[in-house]
Amino acid sequence: MIPVRRVRAWIPPVLWAGVIFALSSIPSLESGLRPVWDLVLRKIAHAAEFAILAALLLRALAPQTKRAVPVAFFLALFYAASDEWHQTFVENRTGAWADALIDAIGIIVGLAVYASRIKNRG
């Protein structure tokens, strides 16, 4: 039987994936900023939301195992690609490979930050 602690570790990444899905389902997110700043804000948000997802996945995967980082990376990257595909079905949204690349940068940053915190902690 899977320990309750291990099951609980998966609640945050699953909930965060739900937040990402919900945000991607909104037809138009307007910041009210000038177009150039709106674009910058959106790209930072893309990277940040996937940095958080990657860190939560790494935490859930027991980061002390050797395969945790690549598994977390590919799970988050798969979700980023599926998120872009999902957006192609949402009115006034488009899926873009450039956004998936920005997501991948966020994933790498999230994994690096979380892994360095674990390394420094113990």
Residue-range domain boundaries for the chain: 46-122
| 81 confidence band (pLDDT: 50, 70, 90) | very high
Residue 36's CB is within 10 A of a number of other CB atoms, namely 8
pLDDT value of residue 122: 61
The answer to whether residues 70 and 115 touch, using CB atoms and an 8 Å cutoff, is no
Structure tokens at 53: 């997802």
- CB neighbourhood size of 39 (10 A): 12
Average pLDDT, the chain: 91
User: Which tens digit of pLDDT belongs to each residue from 15-68?
Assistant: 999 999 999 998 877 767 787 888 898 899 999 999 999 999 999 998 678 899
